Amino acid sequence: MSSVAMEQQQKIHPHKFTLWVAIGSLVMMFAGLTSAYIVKRNQANWQTFDLPVLFWYSTGVIVLSSVTIFLATRAFRERAMLKYRRLLAATLVLGVLFIALQALGFQQLWAKGITLQKNVSFSFLYVIVGLHAAHVLGGVIALLLLFAKAFSSKKRIYNLVPIELAGTYWHFVDVLWIYLLIFLMMIR
């Protein structure tokens, strides 16, 4: 193998590099939000609250979806396309279920009087969890595009990069949710 070919193999794909830069900026954004939460909770009018049980169920769903996207990526590598399609569909369904459980959890909070207007502590909850949900929705859209491509009748080119990008992003939003849930449970 020539030195040029070996050098090409060692370089990171530009899309993967861009994704890692974006993940780095998201980590900084959520670190800033959680840091501000810690600082603001020392205010005299800060109110504590309990998270809905549905947030725990949604955690199980998103962890399971990380398993299915991992297995889908492996199936794609092995060119087991039927298995890949099924696992990708399962990941997509689990992603939508996560968002639905989050929405139902917020409905429970709203019914308890934990609304945006009541207190800054509630506003932080809505902003932090809402931003995470928005990023999960972006991941669901990416999964939907992969799903459409997997069932397309066009001639297929087996390019692993898109599924690896979606998988990396999906694992990121999974780990981020676990961090946020633990943070919100521990720092009230």
Q: In percent, how much of the chain has pLDDT > 90?
A: 67
pLDDT at 146 over 80: yes
Average pLDDT over residues 4-31: 85
Contact at 8 Å (CB) between 75 and 90?
A: no
Query: Does residue 7 lie within any of the structural domains?
Result: no
Query: Does residue 108 lie within any of the structural domains?
Result: yes
State the CATH number of the domain containing residue 64. Answer: 1.20.120.80
**Helix-strand-coil split of the chain, %, nearest 5:** 80, 0, 20
pLDDT at 6 over 60: no
Query: Does residue 5 lie within any of the structural domains?
Result: no
pLDDT digits (tens, 9 = 90+) for 163-185: 999 999 999 999 999 999 999 98
Query: Does residue 55 lie within any of the structural domains?
Result: yes
Question: Can you give the residue range of the structural domain that contains 148?
Answer: 12-42+49-186
Determine the pLDDT at residue 50: 85
Instruction: Please give the full DSSP string across 2-40, using - where no structure is assigned.
Output: -HHHHHHHHSPPHHHHHHHHHHHHHHHHHHHHHHHHHHH
Average pLDDT over residues 71-76: 96
pLDDT at 37 over 80: yes
Query: Does residue 169 lie within any of the structural domains?
Result: yes
Count of domains observed in the chain: 1
Query: Does residue 3 lie within any of the structural domains?
Result: no
Query: Does residue 6 lie within any of the structural domains?
Result: no
Determine the pLDDT at residue 120: 81
